Copies of this chain bind each other. A is one copy, B any other.
C-alpha cells in the first residue's frame, strides 16, 4: 500500500463550533442547504453536459476533417500507386495529434491519464488520489481525450467524460478553485469531505449520463462502481442531476444537428437505435456461450493490460518515454488500419450504410472498402456500423484480423499517457466478434435467419462486461444507448455469465489498476475467516497523542516528526506520580489539518481575552482552507508562540467512534467501512488509548 494516498473523512467533527453554528442558524439553514444542494446538482448536470457536448463536437468535427483530407490523399495516390504517401500522412497526423495530448498528460497532469474511472472509484471509496478533482486535471482531460480520439488511438471518450463530471462536481460544490486562487465564498458549508463526496458521486453519474445518454445508467453506475454509502435522498438528487445532464446534452446536440428541441431524435443515441430482436428460449445457450467468450477474452485483456502496466511502472518512469510510447502506439494503430484496408480487399456497394468517408481504394467503381470505412471514422461510429450494417457487410476473414488486432491495440492503448477510456474499444472488439459469430452460426445453420445486429450487440456487451465486470449498470447503459429495452434479457444473461467467468481468472480492470497503484481501497465485505484476528493485532502503537490543553511547541514538533494526520486527544497524566500510566484516557480526536489552522490563526489560550474568543473563530476558519491545508513547514511560528498553549477541547471531535482492543477484525472493518472513518482509536477496558487503526491498517488484510 502506497503512503501517498490520504483518506477522506466522512465522519463529521461535532465540535463546539458546529454546535454553535447549528444553534445560531437553526432550521432555515437546513432548508437552505437542501435547496442549495439541488441547485448545485442542477449546475453540475448542465455544465457536465456542456463539456461533454464540446468534447463530442470537437471529436466529430476534427475527425471529419482529418479523414476527409486523408481520403483525398488516398484517392489521389492510389491511382499513382504511391499509397505510401497517404500512409505516411496518416501516421504523421496521428503521431502529431497524440504527441500533443500525450505531452499534456505526461508533463502537466499525469493523473489525467487513462479513463479516470479508477481514480473516481477510489475517491468515492474514501481515498484522496492527489489532484484528481482539480480544474487543471479537467482541462488536460478534456483536451487530452479529444486528441487521443482524433489521433486515431483505440480509445473512447466515455471514461474521461465521467471523470470530467466528477471534477465539475467537486469544483462547483466548493464554490472555489485553488488552481485559479479564486474563492467565490459560496457553498462554504459544503466544504467537508462528506458533502463533497456526495457531489462527486453525482457528478460521475452526470458524466455517465452525458457520455451515454443514460440517466438511469448513470445513477446505477455510481451505485455499483462507486458509492460506498447508500442514501435515498442522495440517489434522488443524483438522478435529478443525470436527467438534467441528458436533457442538456440532447438539447445542445439537437440544436447542433439542426432540429433544436427534438429530444427524441434517435441520432442523439450513442450507438444508434436498435430494432427489438425476437428471441427464443433455445437461444439461451448461445447467450451463455457469448458470455463465456466475453469473460475469457475480458480476463485475457485485463491480464495483458496488467502486465503492460507493470512494465510501464518498471521501465517507463520518465515522462518522455511515456510520450514516445503513446506516439508509437499512434503509429502502430495507423499502420494496422492501413495494412488492413490495403491487404483485405473487402469491397461492398456504396449507398448501403451511412459511412461518411467511403474509400474506393482498389474496389470497383460504385463500391468501397469496408475495412477502410471502419478505420476512417471514430471508434464510436465503427461500433454503430457493426451494430447496424446488414448481414454480409463484412467478410469473416477481415473480421478475424480486425478482432485480433483491435483487441491487442486497445489493451495496449489503455494505460498510455493519454486520456482515453476503454468502453468504446471493447464494445468495438466485442461487436466485431459478435458479428463473426453471427456469420458462423448462419453458416452452420443456414435455415435460420440470423440478425447480425443482435449478436454484435451481445458480443459487445459480453466483451465489455468481461473487462469491467459491471452487470446491472452496464445492462442499463447498453439499453439506454441503444434505445431498446426488449433486448434486456439476453444482455443480462450474457453479462452475468461474463462476470462469473471473468472473475474466475482475475478482477475487473479497474480493481486491478487500483491494486497495482497500492491504493488502500476497502472492499465491500470484511476478509473471510478473520474473526480470530483482533484489533490489538491490527492497530499501530504506541500512539502519538495530544493533551487536552497542549503546548504549541510540542504540537509543532510532533507535526514535524510524524506524518500522521490524526491524533487522539487525551487527559493529562494523573497527578499522582507513583502511579505509572503509560496510557491515557481518550477525550477526543483532532486532525492535523485542524491543528494547522489553529496555529495559522494563532488561536492560543494566551490570546483568549483579546481577539479570538468572540470574533474570528467559527467553522469558516477551517472551511476557508479546505481542502488544501498548509504544511507545518510552511507556517512561520515565532519563539514566543512556541511557549503558548492551545485548548483543543472546543475544536476536537469530542466523541470519536472507538473499539476495544479485543474487537475482531470483521467488526472493526464493518464499523470503519459503514461509517467512512479515517481514524479509529483502539481503547482498553478503562477507555485508555492503546492503539490506532487507519484505513491502511485494514486494507492490508484481504
A247 is an interface residue with CB less than 8 A from chain B: yes
Q: Mark A9-23, 1 if CB is under 8 A from B, else 0.
A: 000101000110011
Q: Interface stretch among A67-75, A279-287, A320-328, A605-613?
A: A279-287
A236 is an interface residue with CB less than 8 A from chain B: yes
Let me know if A488 and B215 touch, CB within 8 A. yes
Interface residues of A in 269-296 (CB under 8 A from B): 276-282
Let me know if B489 and A480 touch, CB within 8 A. no
A335 is an interface residue with CB less than 8 A from chain B: no
Which 3 residue pairs are nearest across A and B when measured between Cβ atoms? A230-B230, A261-B281, A674-B674
A687 to B659, CA, bound (A): 11
Let me know if B525 and A231 touch, CB within 8 A. yes
Given contacts A278-B264, A485-B483, A674-B674, whether A472 and B18 have CB atoms under 8 Å apart is no
Given contacts A524-B231, A660-B655, A686-B687, whether A216 and B529 have CB atoms under 8 Å apart is no
Nearest Cβ on chain B to A84's Cβ, whole angstroms: 48
State which of B254, B264, B281, B529 has its C-beta within 8 Å of the C-beta of A486.
B264
A663 to B233, CA, bound (A): 25
Q: Mark A628-667, 1 if CB is under 8 A from B, else 0.
A: 0000000000000000000000000011010110111011
A685 is an interface residue with CB less than 8 A from chain B: yes
Let me know if A662 and B655 touch, CB within 8 A. yes
A124 is an interface residue with CB less than 8 A from chain B: no
Let me know if A22 and B524 touch, CB within 8 A. no
Chain B residues, CB < 8 A from A551: none
Chain B residues, CB < 8 A from A247: 489
Interface residues of A in 244-274 (CB under 8 A from B): 246-247, 250-251, 254, 260-264
Chain B residues, CB < 8 A from A223: 223, 230, 235
Chain B residues, CB < 8 A from A603: none
17 A-B residue pairings within 8 Å (CB atoms): A14-B666, A22-B529, A23-B532, A215-B488, A215-B489, A216-B475, A223-B230, A231-B524, A236-B472, A261-B280, A264-B278, A479-B485, A483-B486, A585-B685, A655-B663, A655-B667, A670-B675
Given contacts A483-B485, A655-B663, whether A532 and B493 have CB atoms under 8 Å apart is no
Nearest Cβ on chain B to A514's Cβ, whole angstroms: 14
Nearest Cβ on chain B to A589's Cβ, whole angstroms: 12
A492 is an interface residue with CB less than 8 A from chain B: yes
Let me know if B489 and A485 touch, CB within 8 A. no
A499 to B232, CA, bound (A): 13
Let me know if A480 and B485 touch, CB within 8 A. yes
Let me know if A263 and B279 touch, CB within 8 A. yes
Let me know if B472 and A219 touch, CB within 8 A. yes
Across the interface, name the chain B residue whose C-beta is closest to A269: B486
State which of B246, B524, B675 has its C-beta within 8 Å of the C-beta of A232.
B524
Q: Mark A321-359, 1 if CB is under 8 A from B, else 0.
A: 000000000000000000000000000000000000000
Across the interface, name the chain B residue whose C-beta is closest to A481: B485
Chain B residues, CB < 8 A from A701: none
A476 is an interface residue with CB less than 8 A from chain B: yes
A27 to B530, CA, bound (A): 11
